[in-house]
Amino acid sequence: GLDSAARNLLRELLVRDEVDSTNARLLARLEENRGHGVAMFAERQTAGRGRRGRSWISPFGGGITLSVGWQFSGGVQQLEGLSLAVGVALARALGEFNVPDVRLKWPNDVWCRGRKLAGVLLELSGDLTDRCAVVVGVGLNVGLRAENVEAIDQPWIDLNSVCPGVDRNRLAAVMLNHLLPLLHTYPERGFAAYRNEWLALDQFAGQPVRLVSASRDWCGTAAGVDETGALVLEVDGERRSFHGGEVSLRRE
């Protein structure tokens, strides 16, 4: 279950059968000033959102679908690297269940055995200069049903296939045990507190990769992330860093 640190930080826990998107619900609550410290789980989303405008398929009983809302005093610059740190928090949560072969794919996918186990979507609200708020959305594949997975457009893996018997409710609670303290302490601790762990879990370290952006593709060797969480690629002997947003990374 929830540990005492998480219980102190959690203001409200909402569990829904069906919503459009837990991220959308939490963003709406943050705008009404009642989203801070709120976690929402849904059994099913009718309009689940993924990164870069994609949708996230979340059929009934298919996985863990979670959003957490958090309000910060101060601007958005203090959140640099947060999405990567969320990946580390999820890896720690999975570590408590001894899930093997967990890796992170920049910026914030959780992979296992070369396929995607969980995706993270951070959405911001607020004026971003004096105050900002974030919704951390996590979708984790566990117990997906065969009839529902045809539409998934990338290589994925189900937690049950690598680590059978993990209780979904316990894992959901342990995810909150890691995510809530992360959000609470992030303005002081920053990405520096997570970088080494991120690097140790880097799915692509030292491998040839291709970074796809709207303007062009970059081919190079993955060389980890810098202290801000930007991806570092070695391209023709030169190091270049890339920030998140509208780019995607793949194995070359």
Question: Token pair of 57, please?
Answer: 């398929």
First-last CA distance in the chain: 41
Which residue number, 56 or 198, has a Cβ lying nearer to ligand BTN? 56
| Element (DSSP H or E) covering residue 109 | strand 109-112
Residue 247 and residue 48: Cα distance in Å, rounded?
Answer: 20
Q: Which is nearer to ligand BTN, 65 or 125 (CB)?
A: 65
The answer to whether 105 is annotated as binding is: no
Least distance (Å) between residue 154 CB and ligand BTN: 8
Is 129 annotated in a binding site? The answer is no
User: Is 148 buried (19+), middle (13-18) or exposed (0-12) by CB count in 10 A?
Assistant: middle
Establish whether the linkage from the previous residue to 208 is cis, with ω within 30° of 0: no
Report phi then psi at 222, rounded to 5. Answer: -70, 130
CA atoms of 87 and 109, how far apart (whole Å): 7
Give 23 or 125: the residue with its C-beta nearer to ligand BTN: 23
Does 116 qualify as catalytic in the annotation?
yes
Q: What number of residues does the chain have?
A: 252
Query: Which member of 51, 103, 105, 195 is catalytic?
Result: 51
| C-beta nearest to ligand BTN: residue | 119
- Are the C-beta atoms of residues 90 and 131 closer than 8 Å to each other? no
Does the annotation place 67 within a ligand binding site?
no
CB 149 → ligand BTN: shortest distance, Å?
15
Residue 21 marked as a ligand binder:
yes
Angle at 92 between CA 87 and CA 94, to 5 degrees: 95
Candidate list 25, 92, 103, 116, residue with the active-site label: 116
Q: How far is the CB of 51 from ligand BTN (least distance, A)?
A: 4
The residues that touch ligand BTN, with contacts defined as CB under 6 A, are 21-23, 45, 48-51, 54, 56, 58, 65-67, 109, 119-121, 137-139
Q: How far is CA 36 from CA 73, 165, 184, 235, in A?
A: 12, 32, 11, 42
Nearer to ligand BTN, 65 or 177 (CB): 65
- The answer to whether 241 is annotated as binding is no
Active site residues: 51, 116, 250
Binding site for biotin, by residue number, is 21-23, 45, 49-51, 116
Binding site, by residue number, is 21-23, 45, 49-51, 116
